[in-house]
Chains A and B, each alone.
Chain A
Amino acid sequence: MQTNTARAAPHIPGEEGLWVLVLGDMMVFSLFFLTFTYYRGQEAALFAQSQKAMNQYCGIINTVLLLTSSWFVANALNAARAGMGARAQRLFSLAGLCGLGFVLVKIFEYSGKFHAGITITTNDFFMFYFMFTGIHLVHVLIGLAVLSYAHRRAGRAVLQPADLSALECCAIFWHLVDFLWIVLFAIFYLMK
């Protein structure tokens, strides 16, 4: 009876404590987004000119990679809930591969900038670009470690509620990484 009552009530995905971290991170990134847009308004010509040096293909590929990895993670969680641990593991691996792809594309993009003589000190646009996407890249790297943990945890013979809750936490962190990139992509690559 207790179980039925618990299922009928709205479910907090993951753990309450994790949401403090997630919402805190969202607040920090919202300051990044607003700061960038403020300075963009103050130096519109410089920002428009600098944006032309951005490799839009890298941004598009990375967006598709993160959206696809999120899709894999959502399906992995559903598989784990259905008791299909091995399938969940495979899906977490595929999500991790997409995440690795994101890192490789970012390294390629950064190196292209460095070869063109563009660095964090070039101007305000590139200072924000390297700072904010760099901090986001650290999130991706942490996310990869989180996905690796999820892969291991999903491999347990029988998945208990505590395992599922841990997997939910891992999934939430990865989706956070995904949606922060969605806004970074819009403001750095697409905003005109």
Chain B
Amino acid sequence: MHSILFTRPTAVWLFLLFLTALSVALAHDGLPELAQHIVTISVIVIAFLKVRLVGLEFMELRTAPLPLRAVFETWVTLVCLGILLLYLFPALF
């Protein structure tokens, strides 16, 4: 049991749970528009930070060949930015 609890995956898992709790705590209804935008940007960025952590740590892309890691990191960055752009500037699309 000791060898499960004090491992790198455990630290990552606890941090992922913390990030989940943080994004749930942030996401409130009835906020002023600017605050709502800040909350949503935070929630989306936190979600993709979690995705990146799962990829790098659990899927072991941290120690994978650079091209594979780069494809993953590019996907995370582009999809996160794409969602934020569509959210912040819906009139542009």
* Chain A residues at the B interface, C-beta cutoff of 8 Å: 10-13, 19, 23, 26-27, 30, 33-34, 37-38, 40-42, 44, 52, 56, 60, 63-64, 67-68, 70-71, 73-75, 78, 91, 168, 171-172, 175-176, 178-179, 182-183, 185-187, 189-192
Contacts and interface: CB of A to CB of B under 8 A. Distances in A.
B13 A175 contact: no
Given A37-B87, A52-B29, A67-B20, A30 B75 contact: yes
| 6 A-B pairs with least C-beta separation | A41-B90, A186-B47, A71-B13, A74-B9, A190-B27, A37-B86
Contact of B63 (A10, A27, A70, A172): A10
B40 A70 contact: no
Interface string B49-85: 0110011011111011110100100010011001100
Contacts of B91: 41
Contacts, number: 133
Interface string B22-55: 0110111101000010011001101110110011
Contacts of B75: 23, 26-27, 30
Interface of B: 4, 7, 9-10, 12-13, 16-17, 20, 23-24, 26-29, 31, 36, 39-40, 43-44, 46-48, 50-51, 54-55, 57-61, 63-66, 68, 71, 75, 78-79, 82-83, 86-87, 90-91, 93
Nearest to A174: B58
A30 B58 contact: no
B59 A172 contact: yes
B62 to A, nearest CB: 10
Contact of B43 (A11, A56, A70, A190): A190
Contacts of B16: 67
Contacts of A71: 9-10, 12-13, 58
A183 B20 CA distance: 11
B4 A11 contact: no
B20 A191 contact: no
Nearest to A35: B86
Nearest to A73: B58
A96 B54 CA distance: 18
A67 B60 contact: no
B9 A64 contact: no
A71 B17 CA distance: 11
Contacts of A37: 82-83, 86-87
